[in-house]
Amino acid sequence: MLRAMTLARQWIDIKSALPADWTHLRLTLTTAGDRGAAIAAKHLGPLGPGRSGREFHIHVIRGSHGTTTRTLARALNGIDDARVSATLELVGTEHAPAAAVVEEEAPAAEQWDGLVTTLPADWSDVYGEVELDSSDHLDPAAVALGPVNPTRFGEERVFRFRCARRFGYGAAPEMVRRSLARLDEREIPAQVRILRVLSDTKPVNTQGPVWYVEGKAV
């Protein structure tokens, strides 16, 4: 039985359809049952939503003031992790001149979701990196990213990782996303990039393909 579309995926679809000059959003999140509503209330608490039974009314303000998209994404990830069935609906938007819009970096997990959608349908292996905004975050980021076996790249504020979709060396895509969500939960800003991708690899008596970067196998 297929699971309903996650809230994180619903939010990506909503956000991708927004006009470039949006400044405020009004959203409604509705859970399928009372148990889900109790869990949603816990995770949505920092957003200060209005509530009517199983419906939660959320206001999101773009930029650095009020409830931001980063805060919303963390809450939705938490609800998804609890396997709550729910729907997210855009109720209304407000706009401003483009010059007045304050850009906000998408949460790391959301960046990963967007990058995966750009990959070929038969992709099998990815070599990616996470660049931190500050060296102060290196230690906590290493802990958050531990499950994907990250490696430092030179003296830069960068961790690199491998992802294997079906088999072979590298973390599963779901584990990559969860590890990036842990960065978001710790409020560690980061940029996620896919550096190399292979499609439809079929390892024979090996752990998978090997990339060579600056003379070193990765």
Q: Identify the three-state secondary structure at position 83.
A: coil
**Residue ranges per domain, the chain?**
7-100, 108-200
pLDDT of residue 188: 87
The pTM of the full predicted model, rounded to 2 decimals, is 0.58
Give 168 or 7, the one with higher predicted confidence.
7
Task: For residue 99, name the pLDDT band (cuts at 50, 70, 90).
Answer: very low
SS3 199: strand
Give the pLDDT band (50/70/90) at residue 96.
low
Distance CA 62, CA 22 (A): 8
* Alpha-carbon span 138 to 5, nearest angstrom: 33
pLDDT of residue 89: 95
Compute the average pLDDT of residues 65-89. 83
**Rg (Cα) of the chain, in Å, rounded?**
19
Cα-Cα-Cα-Cα dihedral sign, residues 71, 75, 80, 82: positive
Q: Return the CATH class of domain 7-100.
A: alpha beta
d(Cα 110, Cα 127) in Å, to the nearest integer?
A: 18
The 10s digit of each residue's pLDDT in 143-189 is 999 999 999 877 778 999 999 988 778 899 999 999 999 998 888 88
Q: Which one has a higher pLDDT value, 109 or 70?
A: 109
Q: Which of 110, 159, 114 is nearest to 132 (CA)?
A: 159
* CATH code of domain 108-200: 3.30.70.250
Q: Tens of pLDDT along 39-53?
A: 999 999 888 889 999
Q: Is 102 a residue whose pLDDT tops 60? A: no
Q: What is the average pLDDT value for the chain, to the nearest integer?
A: 84
- Do 108-200 and 7-100 fall under one CATH topology? yes
CA-to-CA separations, 66 to 63, 78, 90, 162, in angstroms, rounded: 8, 20, 18, 36
